[in-house]
Amino acid sequence: MHTDIWNEDKLNREEESKYLIQYLTNVYKENKDSSFVLNINSEWGFGKTYFLKNLKLELENKDNKVMYFDAWQNDYTKEPLLAFIAEINESFESFFTAKQTKSKKYLGDLFKSSLPILVSVLSKKLTGYSSDDLKKQIEGDETECNEQSDNDSDTNKSISLLMTKATEIALEEHRTAKQSILEFKKNMGILISYIETLKNMELPIYILIDELDRCRPNYAIELLESIKHLFDIKGLIFIIATDSKQLSYSINAVYGS
């Protein structure tokens, strides 16, 4: 019997959603110590968003906690990780009741541990240089110094010193970001463990990512990379709706064929 959620469903997708929920429930029961990512593959205009939004309601009716992230709506931010962590923070806050006061501390710790990662990413966006870029720039400057006259040597040395300092800063940001990723995953793990103790919440938490194939290629790939590096954590199940063929074009655009 169809529920109100699927009253406009003409393609029997309610049964598909129930099958998918049962499948993911079994996947989680069999392997509770890791995250899981599933791609719903379909061409643009074939109803992925309709299915995903109704799947969200279906999961919520079963008392699962669900975060829905529209990648295309957040494409304007230029920085996928910033938008995604903001959505994580807002959605996870809504999962807890006012009496579950420990959640505020755990969420605060999680958000604080994400800040150095975001600063590092934004710094690279603003300067346009990675540590490798700066290294190449320094090597180029040193070559030019050897070729120019003594009159320009002081200027070139100043530039080289400046670039060396910039490299040191970039490397320090890299080390900080690496440590922050570990701290972020640790704090997310603590939050998940806390959720396991609550009577009104059950794991896994579902994170639905929609409209990925409508985003700019680099935005889509960076978002997927962020999920891979930051959210490989037990208790999380990701469902990504995208056209796999279109996504492969995005990968080619960023990395080449």
Per-residue pLDDT of the chain (257 residues; tens, 9 = 90+): 445 788 888 888 889 999 999 999 999 999 888 889 999 998 877 889 999 999 999 999 888 999 999 999 888 877 888 889 889 989 999 999 888 989 999 999 998 888 887 776 666 555 555 545 555 555 555 455 455 555 566 666 666 666 666 666 666 666 766 788 889 899 999 999 999 898 888 899 999 999 888 888 888 888 988 888 888 889 999 999 988 888 787 778 777 77
Whether residue 52 contacts residue 32, with contact meaning beta carbons closer than 8 Å, is answered with: no
pLDDT score, position 1: 44
DSSP letter for 73, please: T
Bridge partners (DSSP) of residue 168 are: none
Q: Tell me, what DSSP letter sits at residue 45?
A: T
| Cα–Cα distance, 82 to 78 (Å, whole number) | 9
User: Can you give the pLDDT at residue 21?
Assistant: 94
Residue linked to tokens 């109100």: 4
Q: Which residues of 74-95 are buried (b: 16+ CB within 10 A; e: fewer)?
A: bbeeebbbbbbbebbeebbeeb
Can you tell me whether residue 209 is helix, strand or coil?
A: strand
- β-pair partners for 237: 36, 206
Q: Cα(156)–Cα(206) distance, rounded to whole angstroms?
A: 55
**pTM score, whole prediction:** 0.76
